[in-house]
Every structure is written in structure tokens, then in C-alpha cells.
Structure 1
Amino acid sequence: MNTKVLFTIAAGLVLGTSSVSAQATDCATTASIAYEHAKVKNWEAAEAPLWKVRKECPTHSVATFQFGKKLLEAKYKKAAAGTAKTTIANEMIALWKERQQYFPAKVKLGDMHSDIGQIMYDNKIGTKESQFAEFNKAWTEDKKNFSSPKKVYTYFYLLVELQAAGKKELQDVFDLYDGVIEKIEDEESKKAKIVSELTEKEESGAALSSKEKKRLKTYDKILNNYSKVKAGVNQKLGELADCKNLIPLYNGQFESKKSDINWLKSAASRMSAKECTDDPLFFKMVEALHKADPSAKSALYLGILALKDKNTSKALEYYNQSAQLETKASDKAKVYYKIAEVYRKRGSYSKARANYKKALANKPSLGQAYLKIANMVAKSANDCGTDVFSKRAVYWLAERYALKAGKVDASLKKTAAGTAANYRAKAPSKTDIFNNPEIKSVKIGCWIGETVKVPKL
């Protein structure tokens, strides 16, 4: 190879390297300009350089897509409904997919696919099947990061609509319903546990930090949203899951499914929840389930049947077996709640409270348990107080339990507030407190065994 050829190749390599270096420098400069404008939300100035970086050097930084998302969200919010909004919605979908292409490790699939599904649904982009497919990817590929209450509801809503159109099976709806309710209740329990802890800290007289106050307010809003979604999902399921539909469906499936443990558990659970337990099919299911796989679930259903036969002691025996065998916290809570209800109806308030508290330990969002404890406390006012003041003071404790119910379960807020107000009206008045300045707290006897502080005037 002669000198002239070698010189030409070397020059080309130098020029190529210089060109790449220059492009990298240009990308960095343009990105810097775009990001600075984006940081102060000057979207008009940020748009041109941001899209230049996105087009010419998409792998430069994930910040390009992060700021791009915020820019498009700002435009989407301002856009008029119709074509303008739909155009931006399609741009957002394209941007999310590009981010996944260039920065897959920086993408949460549950977030991305549910975002795409929701914006498609909101703007009538594609068919219901294609909208549902995006949510389904989020659910099956990354359920952990599919947690938005609104998106969870839309996902279920679309499946019900597709089933009504004959494009999905009724069993598909039931299966997703189980998953959605489980997801909602798991999220509720996580948030309610924190709310309960912060509430107890506040009640003890300790001041909450600004961060804790903000967290309490945020979680309260989230719990409220999940409560609405759960109500919406149950309403949407509506008559689809009533006994008149469940019994013929499961009767038709029983012979082919009676050795399928998962099917038996799911079907028996739904029939129990919808109180279809009087039908002979329920007994056949329980019998088959207990024979195939003696478990927490089969013990629970045997307890239900024993209670129907008015054999309370046998029912409690089965329920306690179920609670001990159950490994899933939310289901364990339901069993303890049933046990508590048996004791409450028998007037064994101490044992009832102990089991309500076991239920709450497993499912902190079970506000109904607090209301039941409040009711038992209030009913015991005359028995557990020693004089007029202490008997009426019992209602302060009942009020406290009632208020907790509304804090951990947003669906009970109104009921809890009304119940608490009723108890408060029966408690010592301001005049009573003023006339008894030496009383700072009241120790309540009998089965209650708790101390309640006298409110400050």
C-alpha cells in the first residue's frame, strides 16, 4: 500500500473521529440548553432543542424523555378536547415507547403500559381490545407498578365491556375481579398501617412532623381513591356475580373442575361472598375441596356450614383451624372477623375484641372492625363505669374507635363520623369536665380495661 493511500485512510479516520466528537459536543450543548429551559418549565423554549436531541441523539440521556413527558403533559392539559388532544396523546405514546427502546432499564412496564392504555381509553384511540391489551400487559408483566386506582378501574371496566360484547368469558371477569380486589386491598393495607401508626402517635400527644402530616394527608387521599375504585368495581360486576348467574355457571363446570383445587377455592369463595351457601352446590364444592386439599379455605367453609346448622362451637372450631392454617394476611383477617362476630353476637365482648384486633393486625384497613369494637364499648357504658361521670366517659373511648374506622377505611368516613358524633354527644359535657377539674383520665373497668383521657376544655 503506497503512502498516498495510507494518508487518505488516516485522514478519513481522523475526520470520522472528529465528526463523532463534534456531534457528541453538539448533543451535549443542545441538551444542556433544552434541560435548563425545561427545569424552569419554559416549555416553549425547551421544545425545539429537546426534540432535536430526541431525534439526533436519543441515547444521550434519559432526561430527554423525562422532560419530554412533562412537556407533552403540559401541552395535553392545555389542549382543547378532540383532535388537538388526541394528537398530543399519540405523541406521548410514541415518546413512552422510544424511552423503552433506548432506556429499557429506566422503564417500569406497569407504569408505561397502564399509562398508554389509559390515554388510549381517554381519547378513544384504537379499539377496546387494543386498549385492554395495554392494561393487560401492565398487569401480567409488572403488576407491582400497576397501582393507579383510576387505571385499575379502567382495566376492569374494559374487560366487563368486552364480556358483554361476547369477546371475553364470564370466568375471565371473575378471575380478574379476584386479582383486582386483592391488589386494592393489599395497597389499602399498606397505606392504612401507616395511617393507623401516625394516628396513634397523634393521639398519644406527640406532635407529627411536617413530613408526617403530609404523608398522612396523601395516604388519606389514596385510601379514599381506592375506596371509590373498589365500590366501582363491585358495582360494575353487579349482577354478573349474583347467585342466579354463579350457580348455573358453576354447576355446568363442576364435574370437569371438581378435582381442580384452585377452581374449587375460587368458586367456593365467590359463592360464600355472595351468600349462595344455601344451594346444594356449595356443599358439594366444600366437600370436594376438603377431600382434595384440607386447608384454611375448606375449614372456613365447613365453619360457615356448621354455623348455618346453628352448631356454634363446631363453627368456631373450624374457623380457628382456618385462621391457624391461613397464610394470606387479608384472608386471615376475614376469618378472625368471622370469629369475632360469633363472639359479639353471643355477648362475649372481650373475646370478640381480641379477634377484631387480630383481624386488624392482618388487615389494618379493616375499619369495620373498629366500628364493631366502638359499638361494644358504647353498649357497655353502664356496666363498665362506676359513677355517672365514668359511665359517660366510656363514650369517649367509643368515639375514638369510631374515628379510627374512618381514618383507615375511606368508604366508612361518613358513617364513622356520624357514629363518633353520636357517642360524643353522650360523653361528659364541657360543664361536667369543668365541674370535675381533678379528673384528668378515667380508667374503665370490666372487659374494656382501658384508660381514656379527659379532653381539654
Structure 2
Amino acid sequence: MKTKIILFLSGVLLGTGALQAQDNQECATTASLAYSDAKAKNYDAAFPRIQTLRKDCPTYSVVTYQYGERILKDKLDKAPEGEKKALAQDLVKLYQERLQHFPEKTKAGEVKADIAQTKYDYKLGTTQEQFEAFDKAFKEDKDAFNPKSLYTYFYLLVELQDAGEKTLQDVFDNYDTVTAKLEEQENETAEGLAKLIEKQEAGEKLTSKEEKRLNAYEVNLKAYSAVKGSINAKLGQRADCDNLIPLYSKDFDAKKGDTDWLKRVNSRLSAKDCTEDPLFVKVSEALHKLEPSASSAYSLGQLAESKGNQSKAMEYYNQAAELQKDPSVRATIYYRLANNMKDKGQFSQARTMYRKALQSRPSYGRAYLQIANMIAQSANNCGNTAFEKRAVYWLAADYASRAGRVDPSISSTANETAAAYRGRAPQRADIFQEDMQGKTINIGCWIGESVRVPNL
């Protein structure tokens, strides 16, 4: 009897194994056909097989979900309006299935950001539900957000605030977070671009891979610039002094001992130039008393400057720059210091500060533009001959061009400035007459740089 039972169980196990082997073979066959069609972009043939794999072989391969995403996005692009919602819901479901079955092969933050964007793009759920999807994804992995996702995240919060479901303070807090992330991405991109530009300007030929990277950097910088502009436009009048002053004045007495609150208020009032209101003075002094910091020192510098005390202002600004840990804010401080020095004709010291601003924030194109302007202003003083003096404008034009490349928001002004400077530089006839083509001119005085004469 025992022998019969053992034989029976063995038969069951063998039968189960055979069925599993058969199922695996069917999955492999279906997958082979589906992937082959998908790779050839024969999506109509691949789609039903991908759907079968999702249903019957969900753990067969992550490739099912990679091709499934491509196919559904293609179908969404081509589908009539009435069919898009169902396809979008299926795309969200596919993302969720991938997270469930292949977590180790999936960047969860990116996929959750894609889910949130899909819900917004195709109006799945309420505004609150869409925002919560973005909020959850951002808090889990903010590095996964692209410029479009960052804008949508902020846009939805502003919509909720307009509907009375979020506060103005919520909007400001989210604005700070989103713009900080944008600037971080922007600076990383600008830093990479600046290195390639320097290589170009040194006369070195870029590899094909570097050319592609350079083009990608420039495209991405334009995207960041556009999104920042859209976010600021969406913020609109919410961030003006008329809204900020009463919002924070009512809480000052209760919060004047809260260092974190004072820092946030100080930073926002400073950023929006609400520095003439008595509230700004009270906040700055309270903050500096509790915790002398970059923020409080900078604010006191603004106050000293508004009262005409430039030397005291410069003292506070220097202190603020040394204490500041946020590279974007530090760049702003150095830029302000540089402008003060430039206005006094201290071009060499100003350039040092503009360069410090660029070290902290490589996308700070205005710093390059200011250096270009100082060089152009010095043309008559930094050359021995008429040709050398005019050659200074080539260097000024190079700086102006670089300004537009690292900061697309000022590209129009930068390109016009560069063109104007090149128009003042020696022209073809001058180069030919002086026999200077291809030669290097060392520029003296405070500039201390060289420029290569174009070849004819």
C-alpha cells in the first residue's frame, strides 16, 4: 500500500513538472515571437502576444514590460481621443506590474514618476490624486524627475491652492524644492558643457561621442531654462511682496525664536527684493542674533547697501559667501560682490568674484556676460597696437557666446552681444593686411589672456 502511495505521488510530481516545462516552453515561444515583432516595430503583431505574456507569464522576462511600454506609448500617440484613456490606464497597470515582478531590475523612482505623468497627461483621477502620485514619487526619488515632471508636480500644487485645497505656504515650499532640483540638474549639465566648450576653444577636436554629449547638454539646458520660466510664470503674483509681507507678518511674534522659520522667510523676502519693508529688518536682525549665518549676513548686507553703506555691505556679503553652503545661493552672493567691484572699475577683482560665482553655479551665464563686458570696455587700454586693441573684442565675444550656451534664457542677448563685439574686432582685410591669420595675441593689463586670430 505504501508503495502504491509513493508511486502515485511520484506520478503527480512528474506530471506537474511536465506541465511546468510545457508552460515554460509556451512562454518562451510566445516571447520569442513577441520580442521579434516588437524589435522590428511590428507593434500590431507584437501587442496581443505581449498581453498574453503579461497575463500568463508575468515573471518570464523584464523585456516584456520594456517592449510593452514602447508599444502602448506608440498606440497612445496614434489612437483616437476616445480610446486614449483606456490605453493610458493599461500603461499605468503595466508600470505597476513591472514594479511588482521585477523590482530588482526597475528604477522605482523613474517608473513612479512615469505613472504620475501618465495619470496627468491622460486625466486619470482627480487633481489631488494626480498630485499625490507625483508627491510620492518625488519624495521617494527626486533624482528620477525630468524637467517636465518637475513642472507638472508644481503646476498641480498651484491648481490645488487655487481650489482652496492647499495653502500659499505649501506653494512656496514646493517652489523652493522644485527650483532647487532644477538648478542642481542645470548646474551639472552646464558644468559638463563648459568643459567641452573649453576643449573646443582650445582648438581640440571633439570626438563623435563628445559632439553628441555637447548637443544633448545644450538641448537639456534649453529645457531647464524653459521649465524654470514656466514655473515662475505659474507662481505669478503669489510670490510678490504684497502677498509675502502679510503672510509672514502675522506669524512673526510667534515664530521669531524659530531659526528654521526665520531662515525660510529671510530667504524668500530677500529673493523677491522685499527688503525695504520693516519686516525684513526684523527678520534679519532676529536671525542674526539667534544664529549668525550666510543668510542673515547676506540680508544685513542688503540693508547696509540700501542705506548707502557700501563698505559695510561688502563686509557682510563676503561673510555670507564664506558661510553659505548652498552653491546656487553662494553664486548669487559672489555675483553681487562682483557687480559692486565692477561698478567701481575694479575689473580684476570683479572677474575673480564672477569666476567664483561660476564655480558654484556653472550655468550662471550672466557672469560670463559681465566678464565679456569688462573685457570689451578695456579694449583701448589692453593692447600695444591698434590691431591688438581691436583683437580684445574677439575674447569678449568668446565670453559672451559662452554665456548664451550655458544659460539659454539669455542666449538672445548673449548672441547679439557677441555679434556686436565681433563686428568691432579686426575684419578679413585687417587680418590680411597685418599678416596675422592664425597667430596668437597675448593680451596684457588686467585681462592676462590670449586670443587666436581667425584663419582666412
Is 1:370–1:401's contact at 8 Å kept on the other side of the alignment?
Answer: yes
Q: Which amino acid aligns with 2:394?
A: W
Q: Which amino acid aligns with 1:233?
A: I
CA deviations on 1:217-244 (whole Å, 9 max, x unpaired) are 1111110011000001111111000000
CA deviations on 1:408-440 (whole Å, 9 max, x unpaired) are 001111111101111111111111101011461
Hey, what's the Cα distance between the residues in 2 that align with 1:5 and 1:300?
86
Is 2:113–2:144's contact at 8 Å kept on the other side of the alignment?
Answer: no
In the other structure, the counterpart of 1:249 is 247
Write out aligned runs for 1:249-398 (5 A). Answer: 249-398=247-396
In the other structure, the counterpart of 2:87 is 88
CA deviations on 1:119-170 (whole Å, 9 max, x unpaired) are 2222222111111111111111111111x11111111111111101100010
In the other structure, the counterpart of 1:39 is 39
> What SS does structure 2 have at the residue aligned with 1:442?
strand
Q: What is the CA RMSD across the aligned residues, in angstroms?
A: 1.3
Hey, what's the Cα distance between the residues in 1 that align with 2:105 and 2:169?
36
In the other structure, the counterpart of 2:120 is 121
CA deviations on 1:170-201 (whole Å, 9 max, x unpaired) are 00000011011111110011000111110110
Structure 1 gap ranges (5+): none
> What SS does structure 2 have at the residue aligned with 1:205?
coil
1:417 aligns with 2:415: yes
Hey, what's the Cα distance between the residues in 1 that align with 2:109 and 2:217?
21
What is the TM-score normalised by the length of structure 1? 0.97
Is 1:223–1:410's contact at 8 Å kept on the other side of the alignment?
Answer: yes
Hey, what's the Cα distance between the residues in 2 that align with 1:357 and 1:438?
31
Deviation at 1:363, TM superposition (A): 0.7
Deviation at 1:113, TM superposition (A): 2.4
Hey, what's the Cα distance between the residues in 2 that align with 1:2 and 1:204?
87
> What SS does structure 1 have at the residue aligned with 2:451?
strand
1:159 aligns with 2:157: yes
Is 2:376–2:396's contact at 8 Å kept on the other side of the alignment?
Answer: yes
More divergent stretch after superposition (21-30 vs 426-435): 21-30
1:225 aligns with 2:239: no
> What SS does structure 1 have at the residue aligned with 2:15?
helix
What is the TM-score normalised by the length of structure 2? 0.97
Hey, what's the Cα distance between the residues in 1 that align with 2:332 and 2:104?
39
Structure 2 gap ranges (5+): none
Is 2:157–2:171's contact at 8 Å kept on the other side of the alignment?
Answer: yes
Hey, what's the Cα distance between the residues in 1 that align with 2:254 and 2:33?
66
In the other structure, the counterpart of 2:446 is 447
In the other structure, the counterpart of 1:106 is 105
Deviation at 1:302, TM superposition (A): 1.4
Is 1:268–1:285's contact at 8 Å kept on the other side of the alignment?
Answer: yes
Hey, what's the Cα distance between the residues in 1 that align with 2:270 and 2:23?
67
Question: Which residue of 435, 446, 451 maps to 1:437?
Answer: 435
In the other structure, the counterpart of 1:61 is 61
Hey, what's the Cα distance between the residues in 2 that align with 1:35 and 1:7?
41
Is 2:436–2:453's contact at 8 Å kept on the other side of the alignment?
Answer: no
Deviation at 1:374, TM superposition (A): 0.7
Q: Which amino acid aligns with 1:43?
A: Y
Q: Which amino acid aligns with 2:371?
A: I
In the other structure, the counterpart of 2:138 is 139
Hey, what's the Cα distance between the residues in 2 that align with 1:6 and 1:376?
94
Query: Alignment length, in residue pairs?
Result: 455
Is 1:110–1:137's contact at 8 Å kept on the other side of the alignment?
Answer: no
Is 1:108–1:142's contact at 8 Å kept on the other side of the alignment?
Answer: no
Question: Which residue of 170, 176, 179 maps to 1:178?
Answer: 176
Hey, what's the Cα distance between the residues in 1 that align with 2:436 and 2:273?
53
Is 1:79–1:85's contact at 8 Å kept on the other side of the alignment?
Answer: yes
> What SS does structure 2 have at the residue aligned with 1:46?
helix
In the other structure, the counterpart of 1:15 is 15
Hey, what's the Cα distance between the residues in 2 that align with 1:86 and 1:35?
26
Hey, what's the Cα distance between the residues in 2 that align with 1:331 and 1:47?
50
